Amino acid sequence: MASYTTARKRAENLGASGDGTHHHWTNIVTSVALVVLIPLFVFTFGSILGRPYAEAALALSNPFVALVIGLTLLVGLVHFRHGVQVVLEDYAHGTPRRLMIIAAICATYAILAAGLLAVARLAF
Amino acid sequence: MPDIPRGNRPLSPFMIGPHYRLQWTSFSSILTRITGNALIVGTVLIVWWLLAASMGPDAFATADAVLRSWFGDLVLLGSLWALWYHTLAGIRHLVWSTGRFMEIHVAETLGKAIFGGSFVLTILTVLILWLV
């Protein structure tokens, strides 16, 4: 179909992806946050796993622990959602690509919601 | 004004194998992708464990038994290594984004360093969590 906008006008500021560098920038920001969050999460969660129920539940009700786990799940899964999209864009094409990207994003948000619900229930 | 024809464009071939020897740069890049995606398995296990803990002792007992079984240990230990590897690889990308350490021999060394470093961090983490 003929387009009345020039090729330059369509490409300006947006690049081949159509949304410019926004996707890449989101993963840069989340990766910087995760450099701090991952070590905190590993040692917080790692020291709780293995304890009996009462002790684990008490530890998980601590606001700092809840924040570390909640933030790591939030930022980590948003990072995952963008990363997995790039993989699908590389290896899948056409309608299967779109369907898989939609499925992956929906599944990621479902896992994220379940995790945040659990953290909130344990904290309150 | 006619649009640019978009069909029949050549696609870049998959090079690794007959045309391209696997190097530390490509190996470490592929491993970044594999670890990043594989981490969803450990994430689902941990979210299930948290959800179970929020539901009460009975649900917790089931999830806790799975996470602390040999299967759970294997997945969590693998996830720990994948997490450290992906983190180190991510830091490498952040450094590369500033334009530093892009020379081929330096990039090769960085690949070896993050691969070795991920095992060191994994062993250190297990030791620290074991002893403390």
Report if residue A55 sits inside a domain.
Answer: yes
Residue pair B10/A57 in contact by the 8 Å Cβ criterion: no
Q: What is the pLDDT of residues B47-67, one digit of tens each?
A: 999 999 999 999 999 999 999
Interface touch B54/A122, C-beta < 8 Å: yes
Q: Average the pLDDT over A77-96 and give the result.
A: 94
User: Does the distance separating the beta carbons of A50 and B94 come in below 8 Å?
Assistant: no
- Chain A CB within 8 Å of residue B112 CB: no
CATH code for the domain in which residue A87 is found: 1.20.1300.10
Show residues of chain A in contact with B55, CB under 8 Å.
121
Q: How many distinct structural domains can be found in chain A?
A: 1
Contact (CB<8Å) A35/B87:
yes
User: Is pLDDT above 60 for B1?
Assistant: no
- Which of A7, A45, A84 is opposite residue B46, by nearest beta carbon? A45
Top mean-pLDDT range of A87-96, B2-11, B116-125? B116-125
Average pLDDT taken over every residue of chain B: 92
**Range(s) of the domain holding residue A30:** 19-123
In the DSSP assignment, the letter for residue A49 is T
pLDDT above 90 as % of chain A: 78
Q: For residue B15, what pLDDT is reported?
A: 75
Of the residues B34, B50, B62, B86, the best mutation for testing chain A's interface (the one with the most A CB atoms within 10 Å of its CB) is B50
Residue A94 belongs to a domain: yes
pLDDT confidence of residue A2: 62
Q: Complex ipTM above 0.85?
A: yes
pLDDT at residue A1 greater than cutoff 60: no
C-alpha separations of A30 from A25, A79, A113, B77 in Å: 9, 6, 18, 24
Residue A33, pLDDT score: 98
For residue B2, is pLDDT > 60? no
Flag whether pLDDT at A11 surpasses 90.
no
- Reported as a single tens digit per residue, the pLDDT across B69-110 is 999 999 999 999 999 999 999 999 999 999 999 999 999 999
Say if A24 falls within a structural domain.
yes
What's the pLDDT at B72? 96
What does the pLDDT read at residue B4?
A: 65
Q: Where are the extended beta strands (E) located within chain A?
A: none
For residue A32, the model assigns a pLDDT of 97
Look at A121 and B54 and tell me if their CB atoms are within 8 Å: yes
Residue window 14-33, chain B: list those with CB within 8 Å of chain A. 33
Q: Is residue A9 included in any domain, yes or no?
A: no
A12 inside domain:
no
Q: Which of A34, A47, A49 sits opposite B132 (nearest CB)?
A: A47
Its pTM stands at: 0.88
